[in-house]
Structure 1
């Protein structure tokens, strides 16, 4: 399947990107089936860090564009557009590096891509047909991040707050917030904004009907 439409969903960490993307995906899959829609996660493209000790990996700035292998992500998007299957990497948040397993992503009429720094990379922006920015207040994002990282990723409160202060918050103002200018649609109130979800779903239905 060639000429896929690529929809980027960007925004701050814990702004609701994954929830927004998964809600759109799940609701449309229930309507049209899973063969027409695929999802890529920017987090899967964090660089391999097997050459570093665990202590060194803990010091990596995971909110800086250099932490991602955006070139590989851009190449995978191109391959999906060309009708080719790709192997999306898998990243472990507890060991801070990729694992050997990959996930097979088949080409689809519509591909959703979600991640914090998608709109900061000019080469990636060239691949996107529609760009969405989740504009969620930082205090809300922080509370969500604390709950997520403690419950799902085994982090301590001290490590979460230190990482937020030293890396996450500065990166938001340096990279993520300025990238909002490239969005076609800015979504407030997080990943449960039903109006925004319906807008994207309606657009996707139109694309699938073509």
Structure 2
């Protein structure tokens, strides 16, 4: 069954020299692994070679900690899973530098020392073609969303993410106790997901259930990104009807590989809300959410405030 779009519907890409794919999702949802698989597929399809592709991590853009912050870290009261923990201005500057081909240095956050250092790029910035940028809040800030050509969201079950988190942390050289991991999850990780990350899903062009296990989704995204990359080479800002590959909508991808015909809309036109995965029934999709009062474990005056849009 073919799907068509109304003639008035246009899909716009920001004018850019480098094609930027942003991937968001909850902590421990396999975002980095998904990005690596995506880049491998680009190379196999000869879309871009490894020297012209760059993988960026949001966790390297944690802001410098003040003395007060370090006291909170030592007391287990600093929330690394909150938007205010990140240096959004630095991130925007680095993305602009890469986009313009300017010399820049990339931050690297050391989780052991909780300090940030800088390193020179290992790739030729001038010749970069693709950036894949992953992190829990990649779709949270409009300032960053406006710099993305394609916005993805990995949608993994809460229980699966918790299991992944426990497995990862107990396997570290200096593992935390399971009790500590669970307290941290309940105090910070889960509330931040509910208040900030989950609502940002509404900004995704494509939502990928099951993450890296969703092989059909990876294939469809790769094919669609390939076409967009080719279009961008001929026209940096493209306004056009969506190609057939954009059947990679949240509803369709969630049933990739399924024979359930009810997953697709009835023949006719796709609405803008269907293409972007928005549904009027999603009460949790409010923009600019306010942090929960218990985000610091019961404190009524949260130390953190939402990043202004």
Q: Which has the higher helix share?
A: 1
Distance 1:119 1:52, change over 3 A: same
Which stretch has the larger CA shift, 122-131 or 45-54?
45-54
The superposition leaves residues 122-169 of structure 1 with CA deviations (integer Å, 9 ceiling, x where unpaired) of 111111111000111110000001111221363221221111000000
Q: In structure 1, what is the equivalent of residue 18 of structure 2? A: 4
Q: In structure 2, what is the equivalent of residue 102 of structure 1? A: 119
Which stretch has the larger CA shift, 100-109 or 40-49?
100-109
Q: 1:195 aligns with which of 211, 216, 228?
A: 216
Which stretch has the larger CA shift, 86-95 or 121-130?
86-95
Q: In structure 1, what is the equivalent of residue 157 of structure 2? A: 137
Q: In structure 2, what is the equivalent of residue 168 of structure 1? A: 189
Q: In structure 2, what is the equivalent of residue 42 of structure 1? A: 58
Aligned-pair distance for 1:19? Answer: 0.9
Distance 1:29 1:88, change over 3 A: farther
Secondary structure of 1:119's partner? coil
> Relative contact order (alpha carbons < 8 A, sep ≥ 6): 1 or 2 greater?
1
- Aligned pairs for 1:1-210 within 5 A: 3-29=17-43, 31=46, 32-49=48-65, 51=67, 56-57=72-73, 58-98=76-116, 100-102=117-119, 104=121, 106-107=124-125, 108-152=128-172, 154-209=175-230, 210=233
With the length of structure 1 as denominator, give the TM-score of the two structures. 0.89
Aligned-pair distance for 1:101? Answer: 4.6
Distance in 2, matches of 1:207 and 1:152, equals: 40
Distance in 2, matches of 1:20 and 1:164, equals: 23
CA contact (8 A) 1:80 1:106 kept: no
The superposition leaves residues 51-71 of structure 1 with CA deviations (integer Å, 9 ceiling, x where unpaired) of 458553242101110001121
How many residue pairs align between the two structures?
208
Distance in 2, matches of 1:46 and 1:27, equals: 29
CA contact (8 A) 2:52 2:124 kept: no
- Structure 1 gaps of 5+ residues are none
The superposition leaves residues 166-208 of structure 1 with CA deviations (integer Å, 9 ceiling, x where unpaired) of 0000001100010000000000012231112112222343355
Distance 1:39 1:103, change over 3 A: farther
The superposition leaves residues 108-127 of structure 1 with CA deviations (integer Å, 9 ceiling, x where unpaired) of 11110000011111111111
- Structure 2 gaps of 5+ residues are 1-15, 234-309
